[in-house]
Chain A
Amino acid sequence: MKHFTKLATAAALGTVLGTAAIAQELYTPNLAYRTGPFAATGIPLMNGQADYMALLNERDGGVGGVLINAEECETGYSTEKGVECYEKTKGTAIVTQPWSTGITLQVLPKTNVDEIPILAPGYGFSPMADGKVFQWAFNMPAGYWDAADMIIQYLEGEGGSLSGKKIAFLHLDHPFGKEPLPVLEMHAAGKGFELLPIPVGLKEMQNQSAQWLQIRRERPDYVVMWGWGAMNAGAITEAVKTKFPMENFIGVWWAGHDADLKLVGDDGKGYKSISWSFPNPDAPVMKQVKEMVFDKGLSQSNEEEMQGVFYGRGLVMSAILAEGIKNAQENFGTGQIDATQLRWGLENINLTNERIVELGLEGMVPPFSTSCGNHTGHSGGWMLEWDGAKFVKASDLLKPNVDGYADLIQSSAAEYATSNAPWAMNEECSATN
């Protein structure tokens, strides 16, 4: 009996100490994909995200003195596995990072009930910009509708009026690929150009000869690509093969991965990608990551990958999350914030130029701010161009004309809420706040 009492006491003590130990961290799970057909693009992003959190833990002891536990749950970019990961990690999570538009759409209604913020930087459902309706969802610093609008603006700026021209829209036949269609269709109607959607199936990503034969036959003035994973490399190699002028070929920010362009090297010169992030190897944060994470063997990355667009973007994503955590900690006077408090933190991000410099991120992300009504931030982005060896900036900061599709955001958000009724909204917030 004595022996049993000792064991029970030890177990109870262990549980208490264990709980105390767990309590001294903020759990920010990442529904990552380092495996499967999209792994090639996922790995550098996940490495960037993980390394920034590792830097905060090493350099500052976490955020506000509380360590960050940025555990990954592997989804392989599968929506089913993504939902499983969400359910598995949501217990003590203060945020969920679903990492695919398909997974985002699936967990969106769940997070509204579970009251956990979704952080989907630069992806997900574009009407998430309406923070009144999507009170738990964030896609800052820019959404897909921003990207589509900036690309159209850029094309007009470079080649003049788009009236009478033809734009082929090469996209993955997946929720992600179809996201910008409403804004592209709106611009096609308003500006008088012909929009030619060309879907690419998941099994056809690496053999797009039919799609590029169609492009050859239709002779579009421009090709805009919403590609991801192996689709990007497939499209770029086909574009080279069919001798499509690279300078008239523009991709979204997920179609601007260095490794995809290295496949074609010089032949890809002139290819462009709109981007809300830019790699800056000279930024102080990069040097700190190198010294405090990479050199200590805490990173899964390599020096070549760390120079690339996607690694830098992953870093910025974690910096945005950390900024939200810091805001919440300061506002609520506690290091150990919960999901509701983090939502407040993410709704009050004010990443000014000064703050970007303070964080050591200069040149890597445009300034932006969020509010309860604006969960996207609409930071704008740069047009990047492949110079044969790396991406370089080909434009000044472009800003989306959000007013042009603000009504579309609100009506789409309202439609979503109606079709998913009862849908809890943030009634205290106005979409223009």
Chain B
Amino acid sequence: MLNDIFIAPFSDMISAPDFLMQVLWEGLVSGILYALIALGFVLIFRSSRIFNFAQGIMVVFAALTLVGLFAMGIPAWISVGLTLGVMFVLAVAIERVVLRPLVGQPDIILFMATIGITLFLIGFGETIFGGENKVMITEELGIPTGDTVLEPFGGLLILQHLDITVVVVATLLVLALLAFLNYTQMGRAIRALGDDHQAALSVGISLQTIWVLVWFIAGIIALVTGIAWGARAGVSFALEVIAYKALPVLMLGGLESITGAIVGGLMIGILEKLFEIYWGQPLLGGNTETWFAFVLALIVLLFRPQGLFGERIIERV
């Protein structure tokens, strides 16, 4: 038993380094997508203290809108533009209809409101687009398909062009977001709101504008995530469950930390894949990805309740 836990997995890694590289690559691809979803949560939480339960359904809604517009005969990239328009309108509507009337209410009320948004978007999406599985317009968007086969250490490493594109686009999106948050006036306003609501409002930062902005950014992230996941296994309401994979990322990285979302996503993506392949499948019968990330996050929380990068809040009574 000790051999199976402490020696055999590492011996497997050394004896088949090409396979280890494949596992790490798959973990990286998953991780960057988890990080992307987690970023959507973090941005909204930072600016409004709302845990956005609707992030998952926004992924579905954005992907369905894109595919639906294309099916109406609109060219692919114009459909992308129009989908972004729809996500902007959605952000404005959420701010006007749901959030603005609830300003000042306890956080739990706002959280419940996002559950309401989720249920509305499920019903609305199913009414408009139906529940059937749809094919993502991968080729029409110019996303490369096919693969590159490498032979490191005399073995086999398959890199899907789609996955490479996802990693590149997601990385660029994350960098762009970081640049936006750090170097633009609006970005700094979002960060200011996250740091201190009252102080930010007192210097004239508009809460309404910022909320629309962060929900729109969450919509952009949802669209990119929807395209990436939809290209892998089709576009359907099953995509919604992908968002739940971001929950342990948030626990691990901290709900308020952009760095935490990125590092947490990558850590969970890679570690859960390594654990599943080298320990979970041989020793536990597999399917450890369902719980591994949560256990990892709980262990971290035992030592750092605010997450790896979350802010430690000390409240004086």
Residue numbers of A with Cβ under 8 A of B are: 34-44, 173, 197-207, 209-211, 213-214, 216-217, 229-230, 233-234, 237, 241-243, 259-260, 262-263, 305
Indicate whether B239 reaches chain A with its CB closer than 8 angstroms: yes
| 28 A-B pairs in the complex with CB atoms less than 8 angstroms apart | A35-B131, A37-B237, A37-B240, A39-B237, A40-B131, A40-B236, A40-B237, A197-B285, A198-B281, A199-B286, A200-B287, A203-B245, A204-B287, A206-B232, A206-B239, A206-B241, A207-B242, A209-B273, A210-B286, A210-B289, A213-B26, A213-B277, A216-B22, A217-B277, A233-B133, A241-B147, A262-B135, A305-B132
Question: In this complex, what residue of A is CB-closest to B281?
Answer: A214
Q: Which residues of B contact A210 (CB under 8 A)?
A: 26, 272-273, 276-277, 281, 286, 289
Describe B's contact surface by its main secondary structure.
helix
Indicate whether B160 reaches chain A with its CB closer than 8 angstroms: yes
Kindly state the separation between the CA atoms of A305 and B133 in the bound complex, as whole angstroms.
12
Q: Which residues of B contact A201 (CB under 8 A)?
A: 287, 289-290
Q: Are B232 and A203 in contact (CB under 8 A)?
A: no
Q: Are A206 and B147 in contact (CB under 8 A)?
A: no
Question: In this complex, what residue of B is CB-closest to A37?
Answer: B238
Q: Are A237 and B287 in contact (CB under 8 A)?
A: no
Q: Are B286 and A198 in contact (CB under 8 A)?
A: yes
Indicate whether B244 reaches chain A with its CB closer than 8 angstroms: yes
Q: Which residues of A contact B160 (CB under 8 A)?
A: 241
Question: In this complex, what residue of B is CB-closest to A300?
Answer: B130
Report B16-28 CB contacts with A as 1/0, cut-off 8 Å.
1001001100100
Q: Are A214 and B133 in contact (CB under 8 A)?
A: no
Q: Which residues of B contact A206 (CB under 8 A)?
A: 229, 232-233, 238-239, 241-242
Q: Which residues of A contact B126 (CB under 8 A)?
A: 34-35, 39
| Sample of 14 more A-B contacts, CB < 8 Å, known A34-B131, A263-B135 | A34-B126, A35-B122, A43-B132, A197-B285, A199-B287, A203-B244, A205-B233, A206-B242, A207-B30, A209-B273, A210-B272, A229-B238, A230-B238, A260-B234
Q: Are A234 and B233 in contact (CB under 8 A)?
A: yes
Kindly state the separation between the CA atoms of A432 and B308 in the bound complex, as whole angstroms.
64
Q: Are B277 and A39 in contact (CB under 8 A)?
A: no
Ranked nearest first, the 8 interchain pairs of A and B with the lowest CB-CB distance are: A39-B131, A230-B238, A40-B133, A37-B238, A201-B290, A199-B287, A206-B233, A209-B26
Q: Are B287 and A233 in contact (CB under 8 A)?
A: no
Within 8 A of A (CB), among B260-312: 272-273, 276-277, 281, 285-287, 289-290
Indicate whether B158 reaches chain A with its CB closer than 8 angstroms: yes
Kindly state the separation between the CA atoms of A234 and B290 in the bound complex, as whole angstroms.
16
Kindly state the separation between the CA atoms of A241 and B146 in the bound complex, as whole angstroms.
8
Kindly state the separation between the CA atoms of A173 and B291 in the bound complex, as whole angstroms.
13
Q: Which residues of B contact A44 (CB under 8 A)?
A: 132
Kindly state the separation between the CA atoms of A41 and B234 in the bound complex, as whole angstroms.
12
Question: Measured between C-beta atoms, what is the minimum distance from A421 to chain B in Å?
Answer: 31
Q: Which residues of B contact A233 (CB under 8 A)?
A: 133, 233-234
Residue with the greatest number of chain A CB neighbours at <10 A, chosen from B160, B237, B273: B237
Kindly state the separation between the CA atoms of A198 and B287 in the bound complex, as whole angstroms.
8
Question: In this complex, what residue of B is CB-closest to A203?
Answer: B241
Q: Are B277 and A214 in contact (CB under 8 A)?
A: yes
Q: Which residues of A contact B241 (CB under 8 A)?
A: 37, 202-203, 205-206
Q: Are A259 and B133 in contact (CB under 8 A)?
A: yes
Q: Which residues of B contact A203 (CB under 8 A)?
A: 241-242, 244-245, 289-290
Kindly state the separation between the CA atoms of A201 and B285 in the bound complex, as whole angstroms.
12
Q: Which residues of B contact A43 (CB under 8 A)?
A: 130-132
Report B131-160 CB contacts with A as 1/0, cut-off 8 Å.
111010000000000010000000000101
Kindly state the separation between the CA atoms of A199 and B233 in the bound complex, as whole angstroms.
18
Kindly state the separation between the CA atoms of A230 and B242 in the bound complex, as whole angstroms.
12
Q: Which residues of B contact A234 (CB under 8 A)?
A: 232-233
Question: In this complex, what residue of B is CB-closest to A242?
Answer: B158
Q: Which residues of B contact A36 (CB under 8 A)?
A: 131, 237
Question: Do A217 and B238 form a contact, CB below 8 Å, given A207-B30, A210-B277?
Answer: no
Q: Which residues of A contact B277 (CB under 8 A)?
A: 210, 213-214, 217
Q: Are B232 and A39 in contact (CB under 8 A)?
A: no
Q: Which residues of A contact B237 (CB under 8 A)?
A: 35-37, 39-40
Q: Which residues of A contact B240 (CB under 8 A)?
A: 37
A205's partner among B23, B135, B238, B244 (CB-CB below 8 A) is B238
